[in-house]
Structure 1
């Protein structure tokens, strides 16, 4: 066969499997005359009758049987290659790398692990440190997903909003300021803990205060939110942090939170992935599970917006700019 019409191969395979031209036509969504015409072309091209009448059915010739045996495996391989890939969380072994801060991982990782243990045993999740380098990590294919603040608009990166990260002022329940509304003066004179992934000892709050001729004392910095939660429970420090990160300790009564007496912008937390993944079925599964967690735990992700009492201080306006490396 110098030149082969692949359509004839597909039709031939269907007839051999069904042992019926009529049923093969139905399976291929073709008319019976069209299939019969294709059989005539096969006979001419391959110099063999291929199918002989036997009662109401047909029987393949020895040549047809030999030919089908030779093309069966290649056809299955082709069908497997061009068929939509299948993904089963329980059985599809997949590793996914996600860039995120420890605050976000503490929020999502325990819940995602519970989901994996219940219905996605074959999925492995690897956390990659995030320090405002999400775009570079995605472009270099070092991670599959970024789950954090991601303002970049790159033509090869897709960004999907999850929730707005509202900030609150957190302290130990025994702190002298824990029983009252927090005034601007009290806020400025308190000893502050700053979570700074970059090591910068000033953040967006300091910028807002400086623009109004105010300042606070950053008495200590840490480079992780988990360290901040632990430290706040053992000190008289106060800390401005996302409500989502502090919510577990607040619910347990380990910390209390107060309205921040200045307006701090609420950065958008998103999932972002490179268009090369588009996303894969495994990545699509993970994104969907993350979105469902946000919907299910809406009381955490839609934080109570505590209001500043007019008698305790004035809201200074939403003047701070936050980027992915800005501490609070």
Structure 2
């Protein structure tokens, strides 16, 4: 067994008390130990350091030159241990390092601009990485600490992760003002037959998030284009006579018209999620607290 394995914090505290009090009885009272226990710890310390450490005299102990020199290192070590166990004060202004956010294309447009602006203002030394949301790799990335926070939709997040609901969103049917369907009142069956563009950011296919909703009415959409992100769809709508179902907040300010529907698709939540291992992390909790919740 190495000398380090034979040494523990309690022995160092006994050493520190003996240096201060130079009396076994007083050191024992200070530490809440018996005098015999102090003697046992001192015996172990002498063995570890191969030095007598303290010499007996009529009214107490006299530290050896080695013990006096050792006391400075012991004081520093015990103070470091206290600092390790003391709650640290979190100050966003001084925090540095890197924080990684995985976000869907939608969240990058709608949620992150304000969050990034706040982080830059409140924590100027913190570096941010925003990466695309990879649904198949999310768990591994978050478990390994390569992603700190995910902003997406509930279906994309493992059930075991803590989540924070940011707001409720809805899909609306939109088209270019110049399309043949603009300013008309089509039935839901007409909408299903009309050429449609979808955004499929998680997996490239022709299945959109509201296909199940159309199935409730016995309808199947005529999907002609599958795009990798929401942001490109409005550009495709400008150049094609087609429609798309897009989240309402993602199209604000764009030159698109909403097509009125007899029925509306179900609303859905936009959430933030993180790995449970970061529940008590001060930086993590601070960033989460900055997210706007409606």
Question: What is the TM-score with the length of structure 2 in the denominator?
Answer: 0.71
Of 61, 73, 76, the residue aligned with 1:73 is 76
Residue 69 of structure 1: how far off its partner (Å):
2.5
Alignment of 1:111-122 (within 5 A): 111-122=114-125
Gap change, CA 1:232 and 1:90, over 3 Å in 2? farther
Residue 270 of structure 1: how far off its partner (Å):
2.0
Partner of residue 299, structure 1: none
Gap change, CA 1:294 and 1:259, over 3 Å in 2? farther
Partner of residue 239, structure 1: 244
Partner of residue 107, structure 1: 110
Comparing 121-130 and 146-155, the one that deviates more: 146-155
Partner of residue 50, structure 2: none
Corresponding position: 1:38 with 2:30: yes
Q: SS of the counterpart of 2:91?
A: coil
**Partners of 2:281 and 2:108 in 1: how far apart?**
22
Gap change, CA 1:191 and 1:11, over 3 Å in 2? farther
**Partners of 1:136 and 1:261 in 2: how far apart?**
42
Q: Is the contact between residue 158 and residue 273 of structure 1 (CA under 8 Å) also seen in structure 2?
A: yes
Gap change, CA 1:62 and 1:204, over 3 Å in 2? closer
Q: Which runs of 5+ in 2 are unaligned?
A: 1-6, 43-53, 58-62
Residue 6 of structure 1: how far off its partner (Å):
5.0
Of 218, 229, 237, the residue aligned with 2:234 is 229
Query: What CA deviation, in whole Å up to 9, does each residue of 1:133-172 have, x standing for no partner?
Result: 33343345442222112345544x3233222331111223
**Partners of 2:73 and 2:209 in 1: how far apart?**
70
Question: What is the TM-score with the length of structure 1 in the denominator?
Answer: 0.64
Partner of residue 293, structure 2: 294
**Partners of 2:64 and 2:208 in 1: how far apart?**
81
Comparing 110-119 and 64-73, the one that deviates more: 64-73
Gap change, CA 1:236 and 1:99, over 3 Å in 2? same
Q: SS of the counterpart of 1:294?
A: coil
Query: What CA deviation, in whole Å up to 9, does each residue of 1:225-283 have, x standing for no partner?
Result: 1111332344432210211222xxx3x25223345444433333222222222242111
Q: SS of the counterpart of 1:160?
A: strand
Gap change, CA 1:261 and 1:100, over 3 Å in 2? farther
Q: SS of the counterpart of 1:170?
A: strand
Q: Is the contact between residue 93 and residue 122 of structure 2 (CA under 8 Å) also seen in structure 1?
A: yes
Of 79, 84, 87, the residue aligned with 2:90 is 87
Of 187, 196, 206, the residue aligned with 2:211 is 206
Gap change, CA 1:181 and 1:86, over 3 Å in 2? farther
How big is the alpha-carbon RMSD for the aligned residues of Structure 1 and Structure 2? Answer: 3.8
Aligned residues: 262
Q: SS of the counterpart of 1:194?
A: strand
